[in-house]
């Protein structure tokens, strides 16, 4: 009986781990650099307060929006491995 309980506990832990690990798979691999500040495994929206150099060292495109909060459509794409100057009051979105 003790062995069954141990097996069930192990299977339960494996089930929990299976649901937590895939979350990291949705973030981009690599990092996004905004004015020398590194953002590892970026995901989501990043505000650009002033003219900034954005370097996309990820495996996904970075979408530049001309308004804060990544609202409206994007105006430019920064492909993986490239850098762009981004004006202030803009935002960057990485899937």
pLDDT given at position 3: 55
- Would you list the DSSP string of 49-92? -SSEEEEEEESS-EEEESSGGG-S-EEEEE-TT-EEEE-TTEEE
CATH assignment, 27-94: 2.60.20
Greatest Cα pair distance in the chain: 66
First-residue to last-residue Cα distance in the chain: 47
Reported as a single tens digit per residue, the pLDDT across 22-61 is 444 578 999 999 999 999 999 999 999 999 999 999 999 9
Nearest Cα to 82, choosing from 67, 60, 51? 60
Tokens 């002033």, residue? 50
Domain ranges of the chain: 27-94
> How large a percentage of the chain has pLDDT more than 90?
71
Q: How far is CA 30 from the centre of its chain?
A: 9
CB 94 within 8 A of CB 88: no
pLDDT range class, residue 2, cuts 50, 70, 90: low
pLDDT at 77 over 80: yes
Per-residue pLDDT, averaged over 62-81, amounts to: 96
Task: Give me the chain's average pLDDT, please.
Answer: 82
């Amino acid at each position: 009986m003790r062995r069954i309980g141990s097996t069930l506990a192990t299977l339960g832990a494996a089930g929990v781990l299976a649901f937590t690990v895939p979350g990291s798979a949705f973030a981009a691999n690599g990092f996004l650099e905004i004015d020398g500040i590194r953002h590892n495994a970026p995901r989501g929206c990043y505000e650009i307060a002033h003219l900034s150099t954005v370097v996309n060292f990820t495996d996904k495109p970075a979408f530049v929006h001309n308004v804060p909060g990544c609202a409206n459509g994007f105006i430019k794409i920064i492909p993986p491995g490239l850098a762009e100057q981004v004006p202030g009051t803009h935002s960057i979105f990485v899937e």
